[in-house]
Structure 1
Amino acid sequence: MEDVMGTQGIRVLGIGGTTRQNSSSERALRVAAAAATEAGASVELITSADLVLPLYDPEKPDRSDRAVALVAALREADALLISSPGYHGTVSGMVKNALDYVEDLRNDDRSYLSGLPVGCIAVAYGWQASVSTLQTLRTCAHALRGWPTPMGAALNASMPGLFDRTTGACADESARFQLETVGRQIVDFATARMETVRELDATHA
């Protein structure tokens, strides 16, 4: 788990990548997360090994330490970034399993991802898989009552020089624009929602 502090009081949780550290989907997540940090949010990332969880079983209440940490981070988040590789044209099993743990929030005052802006990122070796994976992520966000941002990022990892091998920075201007826009939009949406809630609370005080 990694934390980067911000200034706006917005807490962003970023999850994704693969079992391999510094995969293309993890690098994409970090680019979007950096844009969210620049926009003033505090960012926590759960990636690679920390996202390897037991298969979600709603019938068994016991949770591993990693699963407990994930659910706690989801509960505290004001916005969510999800970055998945495209495996066989859809979301990876690791990322889908992590999203299944959102079910543990069903009885919270804020059930599932209700009201949370969700930035969706898909990275695959080809446009067809990246686009279909992105669509699946957006569908999952809707099903969990989240608000997918207008911009979703679909990246083709087969493009040469997509990420700098040394720094991990996104070297492709179009891809970087998508990722940074997603990162900024979740902060903008979360800030607007927080301000609306404060105004409503003041009205009913």
Structure 2
Amino acid sequence: MAEPVSDQPLVVGIGGTIGGISSTERALRIALDAAGREGFRTRMFGGADMARLPLYDPKATTRTPDETEFVDTIRQASAVIIASPGYHGSISGVVKNALDLLEETARDPHRPYLADMPVGLIATAYGWQATGSTIAALRSIVHALRGWPTPFAAAVNTQLTKFDEDGGASDAAVIEQLSLVGKQVARFVPVAIQHG
């Protein structure tokens, strides 16, 4: 794959779990690759990246290098894709902690939070019930962060769909759905820029 040029817009992926490459991270990678095929640079903050973020302290006067890199990367993004496992009917703590850190952008004059940015959503869970409630929680959070959730969100039941180390999945329809998330954020970026 050719190195992306720096003037390409950036799509940032946030998602995964602590403790190794997860189904959530593999699903997110498929969506990011689809955005890459649309001409975007991509950067993923997976489980290992998020594990290095301390619990968000709104009163802290300094930030760690990992926190600073995360926030600065989001500031450069034209779109975001958030993928979370469904934990007890909602998003995981590690994903929520990363999103809480976006409070650092609250006073940014150019773009606070995820204002006017297309945001793709993915939920993975062992069963259907948690995928729906996790997607609903993600939509609510993105609205609170002033972002635009894309019309389509991918819900992946990992009881039925298995991911492999080569970037594939056992269900071709799931790959299509995850790719659609990536395509939608990429295609909505020009609209967001025009109206932003």
TM surpasses 0.5: yes
Q: Distance in 2 between matches of 1:62 and 1:18?
A: 26
Does 1:118 find its partner at 2:119?
Answer: yes
Which residue number in structure 2 is paired with residue 190 of structure 1? Answer: 189
Does 1:80 find its partner at 2:83?
Answer: no
Partner of 2:143, secondary structure, is helix
Which residue number in structure 2 is paired with residue 135 of structure 1? Answer: 136
Contact map agreement 2:85 2:123 (CA 8 A) in 1: yes
After superposition, where does 1:22-41 map in structure 2 within 5 Å?
Answer: 22-41=21-40
From the CA coordinates, give the structure whose radius of gyration is larger.
1
Out of 84-93 and 61-70, give the one that drifted further: 61-70
Count of residues in Structure 1 that have an aligned counterpart in Structure 2: 192
Q: Distance in 2 between matches of 1:41 and 1:6?
A: 9
How far does the alpha carbon of each residue in 1:134-167 deviate from its partner, in whole angstroms, 9 at most, with x for none?
Answer: 11111100110000000001100111x5213x41
Q: Distance in 1 between matches of 2:158 and 2:61?
A: 38
Runs of 4+ in 1 over 3 A off after TM superposition: none
Partner of 1:90, secondary structure, is coil
Structure 1 unaligned blocks of 5 or more: 201-205
Query: How much has 1:174 moved relative to structure 2?
Result: 2.1
Query: How much has 1:192 moved relative to structure 2?
Result: 2.7
Does 1:96 find its partner at 2:120?
Answer: no
Partner of 1:119, secondary structure, is strand
User: 1:13/1:43 Cα in 2 relative to 1: closer, same or farther (>3 Å)?
Assistant: same
Q: Distance in 1 between matches of 2:168 and 2:5?
A: 21
